[in-house]
Structure 1
């Protein structure tokens, strides 16, 4: 099989790495890929949203399966176009991807179908949103309605912070069109958990749970990022809570979409808060999480290609999915200044040789001759496997300490919560 992976981040590198392990796969392409993916895939000069060029390439090269990594091409209708041309593709169509592409759409879907989530109101007028915040008080959560690369969410601890978040999103348009509307939610408290599932419209097959770390600095301080690290499993959250999330959130959401005439085939990601009343939805994503993919895919024992094909073809119920017992921890190494402004083009040294229990997934890198240089905010996701979280964590940090690029920073408390219980 010839497989095309769409995207350029750590999630897509993890997909390329896992797909290369399948005996069915003869060649992998990545569009546009990155410096690390070039070792396992042929990188193409197409952006992830260059739909026309990607369709043409898939037809000309006889691509057997296209796997969409990030959210932007989903919202650009890439899956719809591929299916119209009779090309096999993994990922939800644009209408289904609205569960991530519009916070309002997702919240209203949950409200209609009784899926547990925070109370909310949506606004397209900044002054009205500010008046609502002043009436409600703080803390509240302010979210840009559209796609904002994981950065359009502000947990406002004061009314002033909430008003500033509304001003930046709706008046200054720091997130572009994504901030034309905002959703304002009650602030939920508890531990977060990422729970993903393969969904083919009717069948929901959950993956192992993970927990990621959004704030940029240790102790969950600083602005939210796309994710500074992740680990799986999440031993401090009981399996019964995970089962409840599957039964009360993932399965009902797939059912709700089907009842509303929306075919959902792909990964359904639920970002959850484990509250005293049980798990509640913080957000949905329409694809693998990043960096969660970097700890989930290494724990997958089954052939990923078989699962993706079965999902795309609507026969997911036929496939057995097996998971490894080992734990996985991923530590993200970021550029100085991220999630704000940062420099690129800085040489990366000290990258370890690949090993069965340690993988460095490239996120923001490119190749310049024989060198790897930085090319993004999140540069690397250093992942390690171990018999438990503690062992995996130690291996990951040992590898991180050996890697160098100017201004590199990373959180030193990834997975620490799992060790406390």
Structure 2
């Protein structure tokens, strides 16, 4: 089976590893890929999506898997172009991917279909935003478009809100776009992932990620400093409520609104005192949750994705480990405000009994691994119980070193 995965980060490294470990014979390709991914998949050297589609047709690619969200909404959209070319794509059409690309679009979808969520107001400029906040703190401010997981701020007071408003609506840090002022929900957060094929879905292992740079969820927001995943993360009754009130109505809403969807769908949830409510959708696997979840997926993920991309959900091809998986992120000096590249990474060869997924790394002229981004790599370990997985992951993480390395010490220890 010839498969191409679109993306270059730790999530794509985890997806490609899982595809490579599928029992079916696979030949893997990546675009744009990375030095680490190229140990498993051949890199495709083309300029843009149009050329990529031509390359896939010429090389008889049987399945395209969307990793990075940006390609789903870039130009005509990856899945749309694949469909025109007759290539099955595991990733939603551009119009459906607006669930992630536009926070306002997603909020209107939730309200239209009666899906529990927080109240919100869309704003075009800073004056509208100030009026929508109306002195009510804490408040949540969200840039309407894609911002690599960094376009959201939970603001406890006027000063923090004003700083974010200036960045988004005046300095245009994330580009042109509107802003959503949203009710601040409280409670534990949980991430639910579903593989969606038209009107059918399969819920994967729940996860929780840790966004703040520092222990005890303190400091600046990041793309994610670690994650835990387990079927034991939430109890069966809560998962059933989430499926009934949020997952199922979302799938039904996609069908009702004629929004074609075949691919992974992420539900970012808050378990509030009033029940589970959705914070956001992502139209792909989360990062770093993917790195925690994929080691728990058993079976033939390659054949599963191909069948679902063609319109047939074969849930029997997959099963899920009942234990725990813990993902620890090592970030470079300066992250998240900046990142530092060129620091040599040592100790990777000493890691034993854990997986290492590369995100911001590259090989230098001497063949050594070095930093090349903010979140550098993930160390992932599993066990039957949570603390066993935590201890195993941290034991392996200590073997990997580079100047300025940052990591949290409470991933998995700081639970609900």
TM-score in terms of structure 1 length: 0.95
SS in 2 for 1:352: helix
SS in 2 for 1:107: helix
SS in 2 for 1:416: coil
Aligned to 1:361: 357
Aligned to 1:12: 12
Q: Closer, same or farther in 2 for the Cα pair 1:210/1:270, shift >3 Å?
A: same
Give deviations 1:286-319, integer Å, cap 9, x for gaps. Answer: 0011111111110001211122112211111564
Aligned to 2:376: 379
SS in 1 for 2:411: coil
Q: Note the aligned Cα RMSD (angstroms).
A: 1.5
Q: Following the alignment from structure 2 to structure 1, what is the Cα–Cα distance between the partners of residues 404 and 296?
A: 31
1:168 aligns with 2:167: yes
One of 207, 212, 217 as aligned partner of 1:210: 207
One of 311, 314, 319 as aligned partner of 2:308: 311
In structure 1, stretches of 5+ residues that fail to align are none
Q: Following the alignment from structure 2 to structure 1, what is the Cα–Cα distance between the partners of residues 26 and 114?
A: 45
Aligned to 1:119: 119
Give deviations 1:50-100, integer Å, cap 9, x for gaps. Answer: 201211221122111111101100111011111101112110010000000
One of 340, 343, 359 as aligned partner of 2:340: 343
Aligned to 1:137: 136
1:330 aligns with 2:327: yes
Q: Following the alignment from structure 1 to structure 2, what is the Cα–Cα distance between the partners of residues 352 and 224?
A: 31
Which deviates more from structure 2 when the two are superposed, residues 306-315 or residues 399-408? 306-315
Q: Conserved in 1, the CA contact under 8 Å of 2:229 and 2:292?
A: yes
Which deviates more from structure 2 when the two are superposed, residues 308-317 or residues 120-129? 308-317
Give deviations 1:328-348, integer Å, cap 9, x for gaps. Answer: 000000011111112212211
Q: Following the alignment from structure 2 to structure 1, what is the Cα–Cα distance between the partners of residues 192 and 46?
A: 31
Aligned to 1:247: 244
Q: Conserved in 2, the CA contact under 8 Å of 1:211 and 1:234?
A: no
Q: Following the alignment from structure 1 to structure 2, what is the Cα–Cα distance between the partners of residues 236 and 331?
A: 17
SS in 2 for 1:346: strand
SS in 1 for 2:29: strand
Deviation at 1:125, TM superposition (A): 2.0
Residues 286-297 of structure 1 mapped to structure 2, 5 A cutoff: 286-297=283-294
Give deviations 1:352-406, integer Å, cap 9, x for gaps. Answer: 3675x41000011112242111111100011011121111111111111110111
Q: Following the alignment from structure 1 to structure 2, what is the Cα–Cα distance between the partners of residues 289 and 405?
A: 26
Q: Conserved in 1, the CA contact under 8 Å of 2:69 and 2:284?
A: yes
In structure 2, stretches of 5+ residues that fail to align are none
Aligned to 1:37: 37
- Size of the aligned set, in residue pairs, is 413
Aligned to 1:219: 216
Deviation at 1:236, TM superposition (A): 5.4
Deviation at 1:23, TM superposition (A): 3.0
Give deviations 1:10-45, integer Å, cap 9, x for gaps. Answer: 100001110001232331111121232122112233
SS in 2 for 1:30: strand
Q: Conserved in 2, the CA contact under 8 Å of 1:3 and 1:25?
A: no
Q: Following the alignment from structure 1 to structure 2, what is the Cα–Cα distance between the partners of residues 282 and 205?
A: 20
Aligned to 2:68: 70
Aligned to 2:398: 401
Q: Following the alignment from structure 2 to structure 1, what is the Cα–Cα distance between the partners of residues 66 and 160?
A: 36
Aligned to 1:57: 55
Q: Following the alignment from structure 1 to structure 2, what is the Cα–Cα distance between the partners of residues 401 and 46?
A: 38
One of 294, 297, 300 as aligned partner of 1:300: 297
TM-score in terms of structure 2 length: 0.96
Q: Conserved in 2, the CA contact under 8 Å of 1:203 and 1:317?
A: no
